Amino acid sequence: MTGRIVYVMGPSGAGKDTLLEFARARLSGSRVVFAHRYITRPAGAGGENHVHLSHEEFGARADLGLFALQWSSHGLRYGIGIEIETWMDRGVTVVVSGSRENAGEAAARYPTLTAVHIDARPDVLAARLTARGRESIDDVRARLARRVPFALPPHVALTKIDNSGAIDEAGQALLEVLTTA
């Protein structure tokens, strides 16, 4: 593969989708493409642009080997289609919104993976999660208490972006990662 994969991850409420949209708007027509996720959450739920699959449909696609990466979280199943490998074969940079828990597996499958961890201060995360309205206050507190550790092999490049402040600052940091070979 001549392209590369940029694996974006971070806790809920860190603003990953907002930063990905920021970057997508500025890189339209470039050799950077943004992979969509297949999720067993109905389309339109949660604000993320994704392809909805029923649990049965997801399972059938998984059995057929149609996912390059897949994981489960909070009762939902997530997948990244094998089409990303065709895109990388064509020399493009593929941006994937992934899971911290699945980062090691992704790095094992794609040894040249570049990892980006987006985070924000706990008070910012709490405010964003509460504003989303998908979870009760107790669920938000439990989510914040569950700081998922992640481990990457030592050869994987990792960029950390704090998205506690203005979107432009964190967005520019992400753009730099995506446009630097």
Tens digit of pLDDT for each residue in 150-170? 788 888 989 999 999 999 999
CATH number at residue 105: 3.40.50.300
Residue matched to tokens 């992979």: 35
Q: What is the mean pLDDT of residues 22-43?
A: 90
Total of domains in the chain: 1
Q: What pLDDT shows up at residue 57?
A: 96
DSSP 3-state assignment of 118? Answer: strand
DSSP 113: -
The number of beta carbons lying within 10 Å of the beta carbon of residue 27 is 17
pLDDT(132) > 80: no
Q: What is the pTM of this model?
A: 0.89
* CB-based burial, 73-110: b 16+ in 10 Å, e otherwise: eeeebbbbbeebbebbeeebbbbbbbbbebbeebbeeb
Range of the domain at 38: 4-179
Determine what percent of the chain is predicted with pLDDT higher than 70: 94
